[in-house]
């Protein structure tokens, strides 16, 4: 019986079946099967079939892991979102001040009269900052302007890039400036068609408001407000 089983295993192997497929048909120990088949050569079509089966199994495993990761991430996101809940006006003020602290222009000894000027590549951050300007600082839309900074290599995509930002901000891009650094020498990964440049949001006649935001930042840090 073992001789028959071995002959059958060899025949199945020569037909391109994998070890696991053979074990389903011939229930022996995997070590025994390995011993039987160690000298069995495979033709190119059989080798290709086994390679394709392995790739399919690997892809199936990768897809399963991805589904688990996506489901787990969604649960984490939903739980974290519920933990935040609705923001109070004070909380929103702190969020916007912190955003400006990170990405906004500040007064310097050589430029003490600086208005509100905020820039980023993240659409959601831009959208949140605009909401903050309109609701917390109560700035009218006619005082808010946007400018686009785009690498010269993407000049041919300008209409699509402008459309991208205008759909997000619900306002016109007022000015366009081109950057000319060498993208081959940058560490940035986002330099393909998913690149939409940097959008800067400026508020006219806002020097004192910028100082007020800086005061909020000092309130967050507990620092004394130096007058320059």
Binning pLDDT at 50, 70 and 90, where does residue 225 land? Answer: low
Identify which has the larger pLDDT, 226 or 173: 173
In this predicted structure, the answer to whether residue 30 has a pLDDT above a threshold of 90 is no
Q: How confident is the model at residue 106 (pLDDT cuts 50, 70, 90)?
A: confident
pLDDT band, very low/low/confident/very high, at 58 (cuts 50, 70, 90): confident
- State the pLDDT at residue 51: 77
Residues 6+ apart with CB under 8 A from 15: 46
* Average of per-residue pLDDT across 134-163: 95
Whether the predicted pLDDT of 45 surpasses 80: no
pLDDT, average across residues 209-218: 93
Q: Looking at residues 34-60, what average pLDDT do you find?
A: 77
Domain ranges of the chain: 2-61, 89-221
Q: Is 179 helix (H, G, I), strand (E, B) or coil?
A: strand
> Taking residues 208-213, what's their average pLDDT?
94
Q: How many CA atoms lie within 13 A of 175 on its CB side?
A: 9
Verdict on whether the full-model pTM lies above 0.85: no
Residue 162 has pLDDT above 80, yes or no: yes
Q: Give the model's pLDDT for residue 110.
A: 66
Bridge-partner residues for 108, per DSSP?
A: 111
Structure tokens at 105: 């222009």
Predicted local confidence at residue 43, as pLDDT: 61
- The two tokens of residue 41 are 């050569």
Does the pLDDT of residue 14 top 90, yes or no?
no
Instruction: Report how far residue 181's alpha carbon sits from residue 152's, in angstroms, rounded to the nearest whole number.
Output: 9
| Whether the predicted pLDDT of 91 surpasses 90 | yes
- Residue 68 pLDDT > 70, yes or no? yes
């Amino acid at each position: 019986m073992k001789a028959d089983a071995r002959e059958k295993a060899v025949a199945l192997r020569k037909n391109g079946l994998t070890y696991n497929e053979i074990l389903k048909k011939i229930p022996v120990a995997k070590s025994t099967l390995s011993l039987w088949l160690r000298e069995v050569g495979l033709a190119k079509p059989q080798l290709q079939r086994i390679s394709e089966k392995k790739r399919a199994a690997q892809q199936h495993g990768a897809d399963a892991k991805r589904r688990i990761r996506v489901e787990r991430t969604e649960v984490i996101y939903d739980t974290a979102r519920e933990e935040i809940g609705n923001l109070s006006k004070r909380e929103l003020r702190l969020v916007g001040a912190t955003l400006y602290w990170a990405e906004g222009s500040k007064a310097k000894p050589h430029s003490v009269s600086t208005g509100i000027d905020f820039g980023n590549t993240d659409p959601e951050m831009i959208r949140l900052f605009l909401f903050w300007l309109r609701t917390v600082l109560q700035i009218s839309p006619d005082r808010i302007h946007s400018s686009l900074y785009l690498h010269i290599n993407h000049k041919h995509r300008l209409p699509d890039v402008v459309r991208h930002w205008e759909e997000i901000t619900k306002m016109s891009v007022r000015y366009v400036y081109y950057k000319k650094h060498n993208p081959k020498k940058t560490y940035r990964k986002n330099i393909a068609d998913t690149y939409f440049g940097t959008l800067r949001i400026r508020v006219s006649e806002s020097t004192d408001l910028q100082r007020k935001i800086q005061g909020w930042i000092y309130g967050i840090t507990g620092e004394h407000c130096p007058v320059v």
